[in-house]
Amino acid sequence: MVESVLGSDLPPLGQLRWQCRRGMLELDYILIGFLDQHYPELPVEDKHLFVRMLDFEDQLLLDWVMGNVVPSDTNIRRLVGLMQKELKTT
Amino acid sequence: MTLARRRFDALIIGAGGAGLNAALQLANANLRVAVVSKVFPTRSHTVAAQGGVNAALANVFEDNWHWHMFDTVKGSDYLGDQDAIEFMCREAIPTVYELEHNGVPFSRLDNGRIYQRAFGGQSQNFGGAQAARTCAAADRTGHAILHTLYQQNIRARTHFFDEYFGVDLIRDDDGAILGALTLEIETGEPLLIEAKTTLLATGGCGQVFRTTSNAHINTGDGMAMALRAGVPLMDMEFFQFHPTGISGRGMLITEGVRGEGGYLVNKDGERFMERYAPNAKDLASRDVVARAIVTEVKEGRGCGPNADHVLLKVDHLGEDIIAKRLPGIRESSQIFAGVDPAVEPIPVFPTAHYVMGGIPTDRLGHVVIPSSDGSEEIVPGLYAAGECACVSVHGANRLGGNSLLDILVFGRAAGQQIIDHLKDSPEHRPMSDAIIEKAVSRLSRWEQEGEGISVRELRDEFRKVMEDHAGVFRTDEIMSEGVEKVKAVREKLKDVRLGDQSKVFNTARIEALELENLIDIGMSIVLSALERKESRGAHSRPDYTERDDVNWLKHSVYFQEGDRLDYKPVQTKPLTVETFPPKPRVY
C-alpha cells in the first residue's frame, strides 16, 4: 500500500521515492539512501525542506552534497550538512 | 476496458538530448508533439554527461570533418557504418551552431569563439598530431544542453507527459507503429497515445549490470519495447566498461587518479598490474585494466569480506596532492565508498558505462530491420535516436565526445525526417481494439496476486548473472553458462508477484515493468557476445584474442522470437569520400 502522511500536506513516500530518481547515479544513491534511512525520523519542517530540495536541478543538488557549492538558504545549508554527515558515517 | 486516449502528430518516448532535440524540430514546425518521460525531463541521464560534444569547428587547431570521420571509424574498430559516420561528422558542425543559437552556454576562447578541448582518440590529418575537437560548457555540458533544449521546447509548446511510463508500442497487422500504451505513474492509470509517428529516445541500459555508472532510470525501456514489437537489437555485445567504478556502487573514479600515481593492489597488497602490463602497468588501456581486475577477483585475490573487488591506493600521494590534483575524489570516496582515500584505499571494480548497440536505424532515424544481404526494411511509423539506437556510428567502441554528438545529430535528423514524412502522410492509421489488447495484457499480468518471488530478489540475481557472465571477462564457457542462467531468470519472471497492488505512485509496479525490460535486453547481450568469436573494440575474448575481419566484419542482429541471431554487413562505403579500410588500431 502506498504510504501517506495523515494530517499534513507532505507527499506520499511513493511519490518522493520516484522524485529521488535522478539523471545521475550519485544522486540516486544519495537521495534514496537519505529517504530510506533518515527522512522518516526528520522533524516535519525538515521533511518539508527535503521535499523542497527535490525541486532543485540535479547538478546543483550534486554540487551541494559534494561540497562544491554552499547553499545560500540557511535551512537548506543545514539539511545538506546533515545529509553529508549521515552519508559519511553510513 | 475503457482506455483514455490522446492523439498527436508525433510521440517521443524519452526526454534526454535526443528526444528533446527531435521534439524541438517538430514543435518549431507547428506539429503536435508529445514527449513522454518517466522522470521530470531535466532529470534525464543526459544531465550526467560532463565531457562535451565533438565537432570539427577548428577553433583551436586546424581541423575538418573528414579527420573527425577517420578518428571515429578507427575508434569503432572498423565496425561503424561509414555512411552514417560521415553524416554525423558533417552534421556535427551545424548541430553545435544550432545549439549555440538556442542558448547553450558553451565555454569561450579569448576571441569569443567556442572553446574546444583535446580528448583521447582525436587527431589531425588522419592519425597525425592531437586535435582539439570537443566543445564544452565547463564540466557540465550535458546539463547545459538538456536545460536549454527543455526551455526551448516549453517556448515551442511541446506537450510534456511528465512521470508517464512507456509500456509498449502499438503495432498493426502490417507492422506499422501507431503510438504507444503509457502508464501515468501518479495515478497508475493507462493512457493510449495515438501518433502518426513514434520516436524511441529512452537512452541506455546500464542497469542490466550489477555495477554500472548509469542512473537507476537507465533500464533500456525503448529497446525492450522494440524487441517486443518484433524489431531486433543490433551489436548488443559491445558494452563499454570503465575499469575503476566504486565497488558495489558503480560511480566512476576518474583515470586521472592513476595518472597522478594511484595504483591497484590485490588482497596480498601486490601491484598486480605489473604482471598484466609490465610497461604501462596501471596506465594500460581500459580493457586491459578491467580484465586484470576481474581476473584477480576470479582467482581468489579479491579484497573485502566477499573478495569481490580490488583496491585503488592513493594515500601515498598525501592530502595536499589529493586536494590539489584530484578535487572531488576525496569527497566522493567518503560518500560512496565510505573511505577517506588520504588514509585508506578505494574499493573498485569495473563498471558498465555505455552501450554501443541498440535499435537498428538508418542515418535519418528510421528504425529498420536489417537482412544478411545488407538490405533494410523500414518499420513504418517508428524512429529511434540516442543511446537506445544503433545507427551505427560507434561500432565496437565509442570515442569520448561522440555520445552527446550522436544524440544531438540523430535526434535532430529524426525530427527533420518526421516533418518530411508527415507532409506526405497527414492521417492517423486506423487502430483496432484487438491490437491494443496485447499491450494492455502486459499491464494486467502484474495484477496477479499471491505468493511469489519479489522484484528486488530477481533483479539482484539477474544483474549478478550479467556481471559474472557478460561483463569484461568473456570466454565461451562463461557466456554459455550465462545464456542458460539468463534463460532461467526469464522463466522465473513468471513467478514474480507484487506485494503492493495499489495504483497511486506504486513504484514497485514500475520497477517490475523495468525488470522485464532488463531481462529482455540481457538475453540480447549475452547471446550476441557468446556468438561473436573475435576480440574487437569493447568486446574482448581471451579465447579469441584477435580481431577477425574475414569472418566478423559484420553487425550482430538479435531477434527476441526464438532468441535468433542474424548478421548484417558493415556499410564500408561512405556518402562522398573514399572508404577507410580496416587497419590495426594502434594509438
Of B441, B431, B436, nearest in space to B381 by CA: B431
Nearest beta carbon to residue B504 from set A12, A21, A29 = A12
Nearest-by-CA chain A residue for B250: A25
Integer Cα distance of B300 and B160 in angstroms = 51
User: pLDDT band at A90, cuts 50/70/90?
Assistant: low
pLDDT of B192 over the 70 cut: yes
Nearest beta carbon to residue B47 from set A24, A29, A65 = A24
Known binding residue B95? Answer is no
Residue A37 with chain B: CB contacts under 8 Å: none
Q: What is the DSSP letter of B129?
A: S
Domain assignment present for residue B153? The answer is no
Nearest-by-CA chain A residue for B248: A29
Domain assignment present for residue B11? The answer is no
Structural domains of chain B, count: 2
For residues B380 and B174, the answer to whether their CB atoms sit within 8 Å is yes
Known binding residue B39? Answer is yes
Known binding residue B403? Answer is yes
The domain boundary residue, chosen from B316, B350, B384: B350
Pairs from B476-481 (Cβ < 8 Å, separation ≥ 24) = B476/B530, B476/B533, B476/B543, B479/B526, B479/B529, B479/B530, B480/B530
Are A14 and B332 an interchain contact pair (Cβ–Cβ within 8 Å)?
Answer: no
Residue B500 with chain A: CB contacts under 8 Å: 1-2
What is the ipTM for the molecules in this complex? 0.94
Mention every residue, 6+ apart, whose C-beta is less than 8 A from residue A19: A11, A54, B40
Residue B47 with chain A: CB contacts under 8 Å: 22-24, 58-59
pLDDT of B462 over the 50 cut: yes
User: pLDDT band at A5, cuts 50/70/90?
Assistant: very low
Are A84 and B336 an interchain contact pair (Cβ–Cβ within 8 Å)?
Answer: no
Integer Cα distance of B417 and B551 in angstroms = 35
Query: In this predicted model, what pLDDT tens digit does every residue of B193-251 receive, in sequence order?
Result: 999 999 999 999 999 999 999 999 999 999 999 999 999 999 999 999 999 999 999 99
Instruction: Please tell me the distance in Å from B2's CA to the nearest CA on chain A.
Output: 25
Domain assignment present for residue B452? The answer is yes
Helix, strand, coil percentages (3-state) for chain A, rounded to 5, are 65, 0, 35
Give, in order, the Cα–Cα distances in Å from B408 to each of B120, B159, B238, B368, B416. Answer: 21, 20, 21, 20, 12
Mention every residue, 6+ apart, whose C-beta is less than 8 A from residue B414: B18, B22, B199, B361, B364, B365, B383, B384, B385
Instruction: Please tell me the distance in Å from B218's CA to the nearest CA on chain A.
Output: 9
pLDDT of B78 over the 70 cut: yes
Domain assignment present for residue B393? The answer is no
pLDDT of A7 over the 70 cut: no
Q: What's the residue count for chain B?
A: 587
Amino acid symbol at B283: L
pLDDT of B331 over the 60 cut: yes
User: pLDDT band at B285, cuts 50/70/90?
Assistant: confident
B440, B534: one domain: yes
What pLDDT is stored for residue B550 in this prediction? Answer: 97
Domains of chain A: 13-89 (1.10.150.250)
The domain boundary residue, chosen from B350, B372, B397: B350
Amino acid symbol at B364: L
Integer Cα distance of B240 and B302 in angstroms = 22
Nearest beta carbon to residue A26 from set B46, B336, B505 = B336
Residue B140 bears catalytic tag: no
**Residue tagged 566498461 (cell numbers):** B241
Mutate which: A58, A61, A69, vs B, most B CBs within 10 A: A58
Q: What is the mean pLDDT of residues B290-313?
A: 95
Report chain A residues touching chain B, CB-CB < 8 A: 1-2, 12, 14-15, 17-19, 21-30, 32, 57-59, 65-68, 84, 87-88, 90
Cα torsion B22, B121, B473, B562: sign? positive
Mention every residue, 6+ apart, whose C-beta is less than 8 A from residue B76: B85, B392, B393, B394, B395, B396, B397, B398, B537
Of B295, B320, B306, B299, nearest in space to B540 by CA: B295
Q: Which of B171, B286, B459, B463 is catalytic?
A: B286
B440, B540: one domain: yes
Query: In this predicted model, what pLDDT tens digit does every residue of B95-129 receive, in sequence order?
Result: 999 999 999 999 999 999 999 998 888 999 999 99
Are B504 and A84 an interchain contact pair (Cβ–Cβ within 8 Å)?
Answer: no
Q: What is the mean pLDDT of residues B243-262?
A: 90
Residue B452's domain is classified under what CATH number? 1.20.58.100
Are A24 and B185 an interchain contact pair (Cβ–Cβ within 8 Å)?
Answer: no
Instruction: Please tell me the distance in Å from B517's CA to the nearest CA on chain A.
Output: 18
Nearest beta carbon to residue A23 from set B44, B251, B502 = B44
pLDDT of A4 over the 80 cut: no
Nearest beta carbon to residue B502 from set A2, A29, A58 = A2
Question: Which domain does B337 fall in, by range?
Answer: 245-350
Give, in order, the Cα–Cα distances in Å from B188 to each of B300, B439, B447, B506, B516. Answer: 47, 15, 12, 7, 18
Known binding residue B50? Answer is yes
Known binding residue B175? Answer is no
What pLDDT is stored for residue A89 in this prediction? Answer: 64
Domain assignment present for residue B454? The answer is yes
Known binding residue B533? Answer is no
User: pLDDT band at B24, cuts 50/70/90?
Assistant: very high
Residue A19 with chain B: CB contacts under 8 Å: 40
B440, B542: one domain: yes
**Residue tagged 567502441 (cell numbers):** B397
Nearest-by-CA chain A residue for B332: A66
Integer Cα distance of B199 and B382 in angstroms = 6
CB burial of residue B506 (10 Å; 0-12, 13-18, 19+): buried
Domain assignment present for residue B149? The answer is no
Task: Give the sheet arrangement for strand B564-569, strand by strand.
Answer: B233-234, B554-559, B564-569
Cell of B477: 564457457
Q: What is the dihedral of CA B82, B84, B85, B90, to 10 degrees?
A: 130
Q: What is the dihedral of CA B95, B239, B11, B430, to 10 degrees?
A: 130
Residue B257's domain is classified under what CATH number? 3.90.700.10
The domain boundary residue, chosen from B350, B384, B404: B350
Integer Cα distance of A53 and A48 in angstroms = 9
Angle between helix B221-228 and B507-531 (nearest 10): 70
Cell of A10: 507532505
Of B48, B49, B59, nearest in space to B118 by CA: B59
Give, in order, the Cα–Cα distances in Å from B136 to each of A5, A81, B17, B99, B310. Answer: 44, 31, 15, 12, 33
pLDDT of A9 over the 50 cut: yes
Integer Cα distance of B250 and B309 in angstroms = 12
Mutate which: A1, A24, A31, A51, vs B, most B CBs within 10 A: A24
Cell of B356: 554501443
Are B163 and A18 an interchain contact pair (Cβ–Cβ within 8 Å)?
Answer: yes
What pLDDT is stored for residue A6 in this prediction? Answer: 47
